[in-house]
Chains A and B, each alone.
Chain A
Amino acid sequence: MNRLEEIAEPFQMADRDFRLELLLEYADKLPPLPDDYTELRDQGLNMVHECQSPVFLMAEVRDGTVHVIGDVPREAPTARAFVSILREAFHGESPDEVLDAPPDALRVLGLSQLLGMQRTQGLSAIYGRLRKQVEEKA
C-alpha cells in the first residue's frame, strides 16, 4: 500500500469531528522550517499561489530520496495539516512513492467532503506542486 493510503486509512474510518482532530494533530506536528530555507520563503519563492494562505512548499530529490520542505502559518491550520500529511507520507521515501500515489489525495483522505467543493482549491494545488517538483527532479 502507498504511504499516503496508509495515512488515509484512519481518516476514512473517522467521522467529521474525529477527522478534524486528526488534522489538528498533523497541523501541530509540522516541524519548523529549516534555517537554510527561510530566506527563500521570505523572498516569496516556492509559494503556492493558488492557495489563499501563504504556503511555502518545496520538494527536493537527493540521492534518490525525496525531501519535503514546507511552512504554513498557524492561522491556516487546514493547509498546514495537509502539508504535514504530505511530509509524513513522502519525506525520506523514493520518488516513486510520490509518483505512484493516488492523484486525488483529497478524496482519498476524505477531505473533499469535509471541506466542500468551494475550498479544496488551494490544497489540490499544493499536492500538484509537490508531484510536479518530484517528477522534474527525480
Chain B
Amino acid sequence: MADYAQPDVLVTTDWVAEHVNDTASVRLVEANEDVLLYETGHIPNAVKIDWVQDLQDDTVRDFIGPDAFANLCEEKGISDDTTVVFYGDRNNWWACYAFWVFKLYGHDNAVIMDGGRKKWVDEGREMTKEKPDFERGSYTAPDAPNVSIRSFRDEVLDHQKKQGQMVDVRSPEEFRGEITHLPDLPEESSMRGGHIPGARNVPWSTAVNEDGTFKSREELEAIYERGEGLDRSSETIAYCRIGERSSHTWFVLTYLLGFDNVSNYDGSWTEWGNLVGMPIERGDAQPVEA
C-alpha cells in the first residue's frame, strides 16, 4: 500500500476494526450496487449511502446540489472534519463513486477501505443489522462542486479533437461496439455502439485482485502506463456507460498512480452514444506505439 502515490486514501480492514467505535471523528459509509445489501448486515456503526436514492436527483439528471449534499452529510452524522471511510460491494465500485461525489463537493477527509465489503466478510469480521443513529452533524454547504474532476460533453469533444488521453473502462464488447446495452434495458441503451475515438480500453476491474484489494502500484503501472501507453502528466478523461465504473478508474489513476489531472465523464456512453454530431469509432484500439 505504501508504494501508492497517495497511500493515505486507503485504509485496511484492520484499521477499520480498530476505529469502529470512534464515531465522533470517523464515519463508516457503506455504498453498494445492491440497494438491499446493507440491510442484510454491515460493519458496526456504518451508515448507508445509496447512489440512486441519496446522491442523484433524477428531476435534473444530475447529482444532488450543494445544500442537499450538506443535508445528507448532517443526516448521516458527518461534519466538515469527519473522516469518512467508504466501502462497499463489487470491489468498491460504488464506494469509489460515492467517494468521487464527496470529492466533487470538496470533502477533505475521505478514504476507501481496501478490499471493500467482501474482504471484511471473508475475514470473518463482525457484522450487524443494527442501524446506528448518530447525532446530526454540522456541515457547511459547499459553494459549488469542484468540476475539475468532472468532465462535460463539450470538454470531452475538445479533448478528443486535441487527441487527448482517454480511458474507456467498459467491457471489450461494449468498446468495440458489438453490444450497446443489455436486453430489456431500454433506459440505458445507446443508439450507437463503439467508443470515443482515440480512447484506450481498460475494463475497470482490471485494477483489483481476487480478494477485492487494489493491485500493487507496480502491477497498475504495467497495465495503464506500460500496457496502454498512458502518460501520467497528460490530462486524462475516464468514462464508461453511466460514469460509475469510471469513478473507480479515476480513483486508481489519481490516487494510486499519481496522474496529475484525471476527470470522470459521467455522462459517458449513454450521453455520447446518443448525441447528434459526436464522432465514434468501432473495433479495437490502435496498438500502443513503442
Asked if B158 lies at the interface with its beta carbon under 8 angstroms from chain A, I say no
- CB-CB < 8 A to B118: which residues of A? 75
Selected from A21, A78, A125, the residue in CB contact (under 8 A) with B183 is: A125
- CB-CB < 8 A to B188: which residues of A? 117-118, 121
Chain A contact-residue range equals 20 to 34
Selected from B37, B52, B53, B184, the residue in CB contact (under 8 A) with A128 is: B184
Asked if B35 lies at the interface with its beta carbon under 8 angstroms from chain A, I say yes
- The verdict on A50 contacting B40 (CB below 8 Å), with A116-B58, A118-B52, A119-B52 known, is no
B36 with A20: CB separation less than 8 A: yes
B24-47 interface code vs A (CB 8 A; 1 in, 0 out): 000000000111110110000000
B183 with A50: CB separation less than 8 A: yes
B34 with A121: CB separation less than 8 A: no
Interface residue ranges of A107-138 to B (CB < 8 Å): 114-121, 124-125, 128
A27 with B52: CB separation less than 8 A: no
- The verdict on A119 contacting B33 (CB below 8 Å), with A20-B39, A75-B89, A77-B39 known, is yes
Asked if B187 lies at the interface with its beta carbon under 8 angstroms from chain A, I say yes
- CB-CB < 8 A to A27: which residues of B? 36, 40
Q: How far is the CB of B59 from chain A (nearest CB, A)?
A: 13
- CB-CB < 8 A to B244: which residues of A? 118
Q: Give 3 closest A-B pairs by Cβ, nearest first.
A: A116-B52, A124-B184, A117-B187
Instruction: Name 18 interchain pairs, CB-CB below 8 A, sorted by A.
Output: A16-B53, A21-B39, A50-B184, A76-B34, A77-B37, A78-B36, A79-B34, A81-B36, A116-B51, A116-B53, A117-B58, A117-B187, A118-B52, A118-B244, A119-B33, A121-B184, A121-B188, A125-B184
